[in-house]
Amino acid sequence: MFLSYTGIRVQDLERSLALYSGFFGLREVRRGENAPHGGGAYVLLRDPVSGQRLELNWYPPGSPHDAPYVPGEGLDHVAFRVDDVDATVRALVARGLVVAPIDPDLAEPQTDRAVPGWFKVAYVKDPDGNWIELYQRARPEPYRPDGY
């Protein structure tokens, strides 16, 4: 298991992208759209010097993840890549953490685990209510500084 990235919620994805990539020099690694699954749009950035990664998340009005924006409270989630999502969730629930509900299609969009791009995700809430993303890929791999 390792800390993979930190995600922050933003009000205007392109404006935030311009700041973090234009001014701070973070480079875009990937972007995606999760609106069909109740989410929004995201862009994953990487610092070319430190390797640290930051995910910018924007949620449209009506998304279950859209909430009133309060400056300073934009932490969206912290993500850990794990070898077994289900076992990790069970261990964290045993420690008193609560599972955060997400759309089942987002949790495991590909049910055939033989597919090379297979991906599984779950979220729990830490004791203060912050979301922790737990995800696994088709096969355990070491940290890759160029992506998830």
* Residue 144: inside a domain: no
Looking at the structure of the chain, the number of domains it has is 1
* Residue 133: inside a domain: yes
* Residue 41: inside a domain: yes
Phi, psi (deg, nearest 5) at residue 122: -150, 160
Looking up residue 101, the CATH number of its domain turns out to be: 3.10.180.10
| Per-residue pLDDT tens over the stretch 12-56 | 899 899 988 998 899 999 999 987 776 789 999 999 988 889 999
| Per-residue pLDDT tens over the stretch 102-144 | 877 777 655 566 676 778 899 988 876 878 888 888 765 555 5
| HSE-CB of 16 using CA atoms within 13 angstroms | 18
Between CA 100 and CA 16 the distance in angstroms is 26
Cβ-Cβ contacts under 8 Å for 108 (sequence gap 6 or more): 119, 120, 121
The range of the structural domain enclosing residue 47 comes to 2-137
* Residue 43: inside a domain: yes
- Specify whether the CB–CB gap between 80 and 4 falls below 8 A: yes
* Residue 113: inside a domain: yes
